[in-house]
Amino acid sequence: MSMLKMFHDGKTLWEVLAAVRSTPVSDQLPSPSVLLQGRHLRGSLPFLPSALTPRLIPSSFVQRQLRRRQGEAHFQNVRRTDARSSALVVGQRVRARVNSRWQKGAVEKFSNLPGHLIQNIMKFQSLNTLVLLLSAIVVENCMAAKIVVLYPVGSKSHFYAVMPVIEELGERGHNVTVFSPFKGITKNATNVHEIIMTSVAKELDTMEIDWFAMQKEGATQILTMMQTMIALSTLGCEDLLSNTEFRRIVEKRDVDLFIVDAFGNEFTYPIIDKLAVPFVIHGSSSAFPSTLNAMGAPADYASVPLMLAEYDEQMTFTQRLINTFSGEFMKYFRHFYIFTKLDAIVQREFPGVKSIVELEGDASLYITNTHPVTNWPRSLPPTILSIGALHARPAKQLPPALKTFADEAKDGFIVFTLGSFVSVSTMPKETVDTFIRVFSKLPQRVVWKWEADIPQGVPSNIMMVDWLPQQDLLGHPNARLFITHGGMLGTQETIYHGVPLLGLPFGNDQRANVAKAVKGGWGLKLDWDKIDDNNLYEALTYLINDPSVRKSAKKLSQLMQEEIMPGKDVAAYWIEYVIRHGGTKHLQLASKGMPFCQRHLLDVALLSFVIAIVFLSVSYKLTCALCRCCFKAKSDKIKTN
């Protein structure tokens, strides 16, 4: 029945719209204010379409609730109808703008229509209540998922890398539960519930790693770091499995999606698989070779150095050889040493679950905190997204003391910090003295993150603070240089703000990050055991005074800030994509399950080689036979003559 015929039959506007919205195709129909904007329909309506212009402006409470529950019906309507919820409740006091005047009212009752939830606002002292009902209070096409973020093991920098995505998901109305050892790290996030991993938190509080002493270990420091990570992963696994809230989520399957940190938290994969829930991996740096292999991505050993390497993409034969064998060693070390220990703990609690190796490639997405400016470009499948520098942002106002110190630095200032995981109290005294002597010779001021007791006789151009707002300092117009260990987040921040870098790497991915800065012409590297007054002073003056260095840094800053849409929005979109479609099987490469020889076409190459050998052998024999025939014929002719 057409709308006009219903009007002619004496139906009211409400009855007409309610009938249309109750049709089987109502899910594809727009809201009433849009539904009645058709050019041919407008002229025949027994009322003015302008009367349907939205006039209800919810209170601040209603606005917050609308964001928190944004779109729940669309996601959960298929599974349970009672999941559709309203941003308003019966009795909720609201205000509406009617005829250019604000009037108070309250929610009296609700009216459920198929696919939509229409809230009936009544008790307004106005005849326009019907217009308000039809034009402004239709909540449709919403989605609010229950997301669990698993970061039971790792450093704060890992969590800071994913924090913008968590905040964005909360702002979009999703219910986010975070398991991490860092209390209060999500206190400013909307709609995010925090659960502390107490055992890991205590271990991290008491753990002291002497990174300066580890520099003397050489290549064996990698094994030391691995042993530390295994111990933390084991503790984190036991801590998570004994957590009451996590066990409740597992038992009730009260989750729609997991987000897991890539480094040290792989023990969660079998548990997630048991729940048959999609999961997304987030890596604070580039992915491990084993993870790339599991998800169908090529290792690219010929053109992409490992995260632990300190050479660039133009590798020599020796470097390619080391790169290949190191990558394969790392892969099998994780599979047969680290994962075996973690599998045993998980099997104890959940017998019969699959192994970590079997499930490593089953992630719906792998979001890496990488960017072409800070990382070497590589081949990636559709399920691996390179979305880096999510945490980078414009500078904010500095605290008064730091602001005065920075503003009055006529020759600029240097920011010196070694991140949250390296304690300056373990820095050798002779190294500290070297930095102080060299800094005292510079016209620039220095803001130095120093958590220990301040030494005697520190020059006036050095400010030592136990905490500093890193991005706000780097974004200050007087910032001239960033001295850092070369962590991924700090490297991305200094590029974002266009400040040159002096890298003093310890390990992990820091050497690769600094190597990229050196290759790009906006940074230099110094080894801790080779720092002295001369090379430190030369490095500082070159990076501060050479215009080409700052020009390169500013150019890369422009490249990093050149984006179609913010990275956190891209990440949130793809996470919601996984939730809507229950995974990304249609995006996964068939190559991820192939044997090594098949994926790299070694069987085809072998067959081609065999065919070539057979062809050459046959050709050789035929040629020899023809030559013998020709020679014999010629000999017979000579004998006859």
pLDDT one-digit tens code per residue, 300-317: 888 888 887 888 888 899
| In contact, 373 and 556? CB cutoff 8 Å | yes
For residue 33, name the pLDDT band (cuts at 50, 70, 90).
very low
DSSP for residue 592: G
The token pair that represents 125 in the structure block:
């002292």
pTM for this structure? 0.73
The token pair that represents 113 in the structure block:
């229509």
Least confident of 320-324, 439-443, 588-592: 588-592
The amino acid that residue 61 corresponds to is F
Nearest to 354 by CA among 270, 247, 473, 428: 270
Region 407-429: mean pLDDT is 87
Q: Tell me the three-class secondary structure of 498-525, residue by residue.
A: CCCEEECCCCCCHHHHHHHHHHHCCEEE
The predicted pLDDT at position 10 comes to 62
SS3 of residue 196 by DSSP: strand
HSE-CB of 542 using CA atoms within 13 angstroms: 14
The predicted pLDDT at position 227 comes to 77
Distance, CA of 521 to CA of 552 (rounded, Å): 6
The token pair that represents 138 in the structure block:
């239709």
Nearest to 258 by CA among 430, 267, 508: 267
Q: For residue 270, how far is the Cα from the chain centroid?
A: 22
For the chain, helix, strand, coil in percent to 5 are: 50, 15, 35
Which residue reads 């632990």 in tokens?
308
Q: How many CB atoms lie within 10 A of CB 558?
A: 10
The token pair that represents 274 in the structure block:
């048991």
Nearest to 80 by CA among 207, 254, 245, 268: 254
Nearest to 278 by CA among 335, 363, 342: 363
Q: Hey, which residues does 282 pair with through a beta bridge?
A: 261, 367
pLDDT one-digit tens code per residue, 144-157: 889 999 998 878 88
DSSP for residue 353: P
Distance, CA of 56 to CA of 124 (rounded, Å): 12
Nearest to 147 by CA among 39, 7, 282: 282
Report CA-CA distances (Å) from 274 to 148, 250, 277.
Answer: 15, 9, 8
Residue 50 has pLDDT above 80, yes or no: no
pLDDT one-digit tens code per residue, 276-303: 999 999 988 888 888 888 888 888 888 8
First to last CA, the chain: 110
Distance, CA of 326 to CA of 304 (rounded, Å): 13
The token pair that represents 554 in the structure block:
């500013």
| In contact, 583 and 364? CB cutoff 8 Å | yes
Region 32-54: mean pLDDT is 43
The token pair that represents 60 in the structure block:
């601040």
Q: Mean pLDDT over all residues of the chain?
A: 79
| In contact, 474 and 497? CB cutoff 8 Å | yes
Least confident of 140-154, 450-464, 536-550, 599-613: 140-154
The predicted pLDDT at position 128 comes to 42
Which residue reads 């010629």 in tokens?
634
The token pair that represents 304 in the structure block:
């992409």
| In contact, 358 and 335? CB cutoff 8 Å | no
Nearest to 538 by CA among 526, 521, 552: 526
Report CA-CA distances (Å) from 91 to 59, 101, 122, 413.
Answer: 14, 22, 10, 58
Nearest to 471 by CA among 209, 153, 150, 164: 164
Residue 54 has pLDDT above 80, yes or no: no
Distance, CA of 175 to CA of 191 (rounded, Å): 6
Which residue reads 């599979």 in tokens?
335
Distance, CA of 286 to CA of 490 (rounded, Å): 15
pLDDT one-digit tens code per residue, 229-278: 788 888 888 889 889 999 999 888 889 999 999 888 889 999 999 899 99
Q: How many CB atoms lie within 10 A of CB 186?
A: 20
Report CA-CA distances (Å) from 37 to 11, 33, 55, 131, 218.
Answer: 19, 7, 17, 15, 73
Dihedral (CA of 295, 297, 300, 303) sign: negative
Domains within the chain, CATH numbers bracketed: 3-139 (no CATH), 146-386 (3.40.50.2000), 400-561 (3.40.50.2000)
Nearest to 596 by CA among 385, 324, 285: 324
Q: Hey, which residues does 449 pair with through a beta bridge?
A: 465
Nearest to 183 by CA among 168, 210, 208, 204: 204
The predicted pLDDT at position 638 comes to 64
Least confident of 341-350, 488-497, 539-548: 341-350
What residues contact residue 498 under an 8 Å CB cut-off, 6+ apart? Answer: 550, 553, 554, 556, 557
More confident residue, 228 or 138: 228
Distance, CA of 509 to CA of 288 (rounded, Å): 11
- Burial class of residue 555 (count of CB atoms within 10 Å of its CB; 0-12, 13-18, 19+): middle
The predicted pLDDT at position 23 comes to 46
The predicted pLDDT at position 5 comes to 62
Nearest to 88 by CA among 123, 33, 55, 137: 137
Most confident option among 19-33, 127-141, 396-410, 418-432: 396-410
Distance, CA of 117 to CA of 137 (rounded, Å): 9
Alpha helices for 125-206 (secondary structure H):
129-136, 156-171, 198-206
Cα angle for residues 275, 277, 280 (degrees, 5° grid): 130
Nearest to 590 by CA among 382, 290, 281: 382
Residue 225 has pLDDT above 90, yes or no: no
